[in-house]
Structure 1
Amino acid sequence: MEYALQTALAAVILIILGGVSQALPWGIGSARQMAQRTSIDDDGAGPKVVDVSADPVTHGRFDSEMAGRVTTLTTDRTFSWIVSQPLSYYRPGRYLAWEIVTQVLVAAGLVAVNVVLADIAPQTRIGVIAIAAVVAAMATYGQLRNWWGMSWRYTLGVSVTLVVAWVAAAAAVVVIWG
């Protein structure tokens, strides 16, 4: 029961700090919205935010051809990764449920590290988790920066948030349970 409470506390901290991170300048606001359409018919007509030539990105068959896929788009000057999911993928309830599952699993991992290192000083345990957080951030967001071309603002911002969140969660568990 004690480990479940530790995991729950750590997960709450991770979820809160993850949400805060998305509200900061490197979060959701750093993504540029090219166009948003509320309806589109089969010939591609519909409300337009950006007027561009008809091609697979702007054509009415975009949803059926690209949903659930990672696609690339190369122009004369840019290379783009396009990750497309049905709108249902981004339902708030679905997103929140998977975010909770993800953060509970991360929290359980942090608690497991704390348990394995129980024989060493609390500060050292927190230090080990901080090092693991830095490595996880470099591995994850470094690759997103390299492969996907994510902006420095985004990758650095979420990396710092990940390290702060892991250390805060570990420190809370160590302070309360030792």
Structure 2
Amino acid sequence: MEGGQSEDGTLHLCRGPQTTGLTETVRTHRPLSAKDLLLGTLSLRADGEPGERIWPAPPRVALIGCESGGDLRFAESFGLATAMIHNGAEVVTATRWTLPTSFAFHRLAGLPESVRPRTEAVIAVDTAHESADPVARLADWQRERLDRWRTEGGIAYSPLLWAAMTCIVV
């Protein structure tokens, strides 16, 4: 969030530079911003459409990336997670801070390449979202990681990764 505002959060998708949007192009694409998701094209054209009509969200959304739930730290949160709720999501799982990559775990912490904590976290969130109660399922996984952190220790079970996950429920 370069601008320091929650609505400046962006998703870098495969959107060409000619795509309509409220963000500047970055190299060969235009990021989709929280502002785009919320406002759509209302502020760009007289016949514009609101974001929830252009980009409706599915009932469950996982934003497991760089501080995807960071909009919650602002007094007026209008970031990616909030935009997904606004656009129809009933459950959004997001991260409260930037997550280390599996590569960082390998390079900096010396974990073998066969151990992939970030991938395991993504799978845990996906599995939770496929269950009847995604919040309880994710909390169970987090508690299991906490137990392993307490009993085995080791960076692979560090709260640095699993404690970042949070669910926003409507």
Whether the TM-score (by the shorter chain) exceeds 0.5 is no
Which of these two proteins has the greater Rg computed from alpha carbons?
Answer: 1
Say which structure is richer in helix. Answer: 1
